[in-house]
Structure 1
Amino acid sequence: GTISNSGRWLLWFDKAVEPAGEARNFADMFVPLINKLRELYKAEGGKLPEALLKMNWPEKYDPEEWILRINGFFWADTKIGNRLYKKGDLVPAFGNLQADGSTSSLNWLYTGSYTEDEGNKSKRRDPTQTPMQAAIGLYPNWSWCWPVNRRILYNRASVDLNGKPYNPKKAVIEWDGKKWVGDVPDGPWAPQADTKNGKLAYIMTTDGYAQLYGPGRLDGPFPEHYEPAETPVAQHPFSKQLSSPVYKFHTSDMDKLAKAADPKYPIVLTTYSMTEHWCGGGETRNVPNLLEAEPQLYVEMSPELAKEKGIANGDGVIVESARGRVEAIAMVTVRIRPCKVMGKTVHLIGMPFAYGWTTPKCGDSTNRLTIVACDPNTTIPEAKACCVNIRKADKLTEIA
């Protein structure tokens, strides 16, 4: 199947191994579940039967079939330009999708990722580029990028009114007098100097112009430095406002916040995932060879902090925040270094969040320590940073 990265690339990956034992991938659980529900609805009826019984649903999961469904089909013979597409052919681009039932697509953004002429474009691994594309590492033939393989959104904002790049050495697109070259242009229209055929660059805004302050945002249009909701400093030199005045938070006992520069919690904790374990770890903590590779919750710390706290590599430690405490194993490493902040030494520690209580002896959940302070617009939590303290444990109860 496919994954999409932060650059909007749609990349196909083949299965490496068959699932072990009775394990199944998600689709091989979900499709039979829906099939069973459809059988029950046919036999016994139920609320809103159309939602289940009238959808176009397969009897078994096939990733190749699903990427075709995501791309979309013509359900009637359709002529586009000089080409006739027959019923059942793949829709070549999202601009050809219709609202009258003559086409379908599970996600219009991905229409064009699988075509009659080029097949499954997410499988492409062609690194060739023009010199212009190579100057910015565009790689237009490597996988496929939604929408329409456009690698850089709003790319017409990178050129002047005549379609000439503001920075020729790092050009994204350029008008050669007849057409755009480089990336797929964000709109095929002529440059803006053509008052008849040209259009403004920001095609997703109502007026076509860039916006410094979008509607509905709770904070200002220009970037401001804010300390995290929990911070080891009492002030910073950029403004009188220490932390965001509009971040979202909760007030339960499990969501307490330490005050700024709280001497009880002077150390900064950052969290991360591991190569060997998947995100929360529930899927991989229970795979024996992966658990053997990373068997226990650990804390990375600098030699300087370890010396200050009397902790040796491999010792059991207790990490505490205003919200809870966890037990872990110390990993003393030069990968973590103390910071100098406004003339003060601030220590940093790092912990993975791939553990918990479902697997014996693997340790606590780091999320006992982290906070739920959220961005005011997206509500994305600030779980990457909080303030804690650490000490050597006399005895660990969870980790042998």
Structure 2
Amino acid sequence: MSFFLNLERWHSPPSLGKMRTHAMDFNTDLLGANQSSAQPRRQSCSQLPAYRRRKPDGIGTGTRDRGWLEISKVLLGRAGRAIQNDTVLFLSQIWITALKQGVKAATFFWPVSIPLERRILTMLQWLHLPEGESPYVYAMHSEQPDTYGHKVGPMSAELNSPLRLIDRIVGQLMDGLKQMKLHRCVNIILVGDHGMEEAHCDRTEFLSNYLSNADDIILIPGSLGRIRSRFPNNPKYDAKAVVANLTCKRADQHFKAYLKQHLPKRLHYANNRRIEDIHLLVERKWHVARKVPEGKRHCGFAGDHGYDNKINSMQTIFLGYGPTFKFKTKVPAFENIELYNVMCDLLGLKPAPNNGTHGSMNHLLRSPPHRATMPEEVSRPLSSALAPAGTDDLGCSCDDKNKVETSGCELQ
């Protein structure tokens, strides 16, 4: 769920408020392990971006991204039809882990043409299936908060409408579970994939104001700029020179250019050949674009995400409810990369290899099934066979040099 709003901002959401009263509550501070775009955040519930086989898509890239086109040759085929039920893109997704361990899973991620009420009703119908046919793992996505957040901005009163809708379908889900006497038997996680920040076309940096050869590059524009050469294997393209031409050129510059190997290590976004050589970390509320558009333009958005994940507005919500979670507990911030192991613990599954730390979220659970243990010592430490190097006394002292001279220059 693209859910970025602080529930305190909307007064008394009935269903969410009731669930929150009894739940493991972690509101608005779920930290992303990488940049705050939607698909990378969804993927990073178990893996860091540099270790995924699919390249994360940033703002405005979609399937036009070169790295995506490269892998799509395997996935799409000649007719361009997307291959369903393919596991290449989902290395450690919880439903794939479940299926591989003989546990039936059901997901309702898309399409947007199906109303949320129908999605919830469908999931409740799946629960009514006979034993052996009914799935054990369920997942559903809601795009409404994200859609409205982009359109009207995160501070708009118009966001109350999608919030009421989310609250209503959560109530619909809980009512259905209660009718089946399952409301005390299931574990429910409500989680967002990113936050939202105010943004507008008027706050845009154009690289043509910095580069004389802006036509020679391809920029993935928006809140997290990525740059590559327009012409592959161009011997004249020098990423270091481009970064130098984009660094500290104006006092009011609203982005900072990095070679990917110099990006902050906390982003985990360098060690992959599909990641562009140059990245622009953009100041919150701002965008980057390649060149000034010709003629009058219409700005169709008032909010965006994809900014540096340390910015508070890029954080999101986690709420856990059910018999396995601790009761009425608020926990400190944690990274979303730890969610996969938590979900495996809830379902009794063995996690696939991932970048999270299994057991680090045990404080969320009443009776954690996994206890992290230190590896046994395989050998005793041995004393060094090397002879002592001798005395450390070099026969000199710096004490005289460190004395403060006071003669002839007494303080007045």
For Structure 1 versus Structure 2, the TM-score category normalised by the shorter chain is: under 0.3
Tell me the TM-score normalized by structure 2.
Answer: 0.22
Higher relative contact order by CA 8 Å / sep ≥ 6: 1 or 2?
Answer: 2
Question: Going by fraction, where is helix more abundant, 1 or 2?
Answer: 2
Tell me the TM-score normalized by structure 1.
Answer: 0.22
